[in-house]
Amino acid sequence: MITVVGSANVDVIAEAEIFPVQGETVRGKSFQTAPGGKGANQAVACAKLGETVQLIGSIGSDEFGQTILANLRNQKVGTAYIYQTDGPSGVAVILLTEEDNRIISIPGANHALKPERIKELLDVIRNSQLVMIQLELPKSVVWQVLKLCKQFQVPVVMDPAPSGSFQLDFMPYLTYLTPNETECAAIFGASMEEAAEKYPNQLLVTLGSKGVCYHDGERLIHVDAVPAKVIDTTGAGDTFNGALASQLVRQCDLQQAIQFANAAASLSIEKFGAQGGMPSRQEVLRKIEEMNNA
């Protein structure tokens, strides 16, 4: 069982040829809403890859809350520990161009989750094979989860987004930290190579089309990305994290787990939507087989 503690949103997505600069209005190409939130995304990624997964989080009393809940159930994510609170659900406003995205995250009900709720779920944490967490939650909740995982010796994968909420004091509690290159620089104030060497086999830096780098205790390891025809990069990092977790609970070694996660992320960006492009395990294995036979 993988437990994800994190945010669940509705994404409000606008696509245009270019991003507007300050004070500018540009004509858009399309608009839609879609399920999102880094916690929900990572949970769905795990579920699509065939894992048993549950999400701990909070939704609002609005229609978006019911939309979020129905989608998670449809994707076979466990929802027994999703709490409903008065007020609006979380929303992410996403601006897309052909190969890039910019996101404004509005926490809403996600920040109504309290440490007391986590304390009620001791057995859930204790019986998890692995816990995934991000930083779209109150910091007090993050700390409560990390301390319980440490107490029960449950591995933790943290996606440090938004990176401004990250604390270096988290590191002793984490099995893996998966920042992108920009987040890594903001968190550690050092080059990727220096940071990775300081945290061997713990810090996995995602580099988009350049793959993933980490230090194995002896040297810097670079795991190549899988080439893809980019349609929408939204959710690629969440797909990577979910796929990484799915392999770790299957006892794969780290490099193989990253290779699998890279293949999953490459498939995700060839379709539209954070969750819409997330692949099944069969699709990822087929992609890896194609690469090996090329």
What does DSSP assign to residue 194? H
Find out whether 243 and 260 touch, Cβ atoms under 8 Å: yes
How many other C-beta atoms can be found within 10 angstroms of the C-beta atom of residue 294? 5
What is the token pair recorded at 240? 């990577």
Out of 86, 159, 238, 253, the active site residue is 238
Closest CA to 72 of 99, 94, 41, 30: 41
Instruction: Give the relative orientation of helices 63-74 and 38-48 as an angle to the nearest 10 degrees.
Output: 20
Report d(CA 61, CA 264) in Å as an integer: 34
Report d(CA 237, CA 205) in Å as an integer: 11
Find out whether 226 and 291 touch, Cβ atoms under 8 Å: yes
What does DSSP assign to residue 76? T
> Which residues, 6+ apart, have CB-to-CB distance to 48 below 8 Å?
75, 242, 278, 279, 280, 281
Find out whether 43 and 130 touch, Cβ atoms under 8 Å: no
Task: Respond yes or no: is residue 123 known to be catalytic.
Answer: no
Find out whether 234 and 244 touch, Cβ atoms under 8 Å: no
Find out whether 1 and 22 touch, Cβ atoms under 8 Å: no
- Active-site residues, by number, are 238
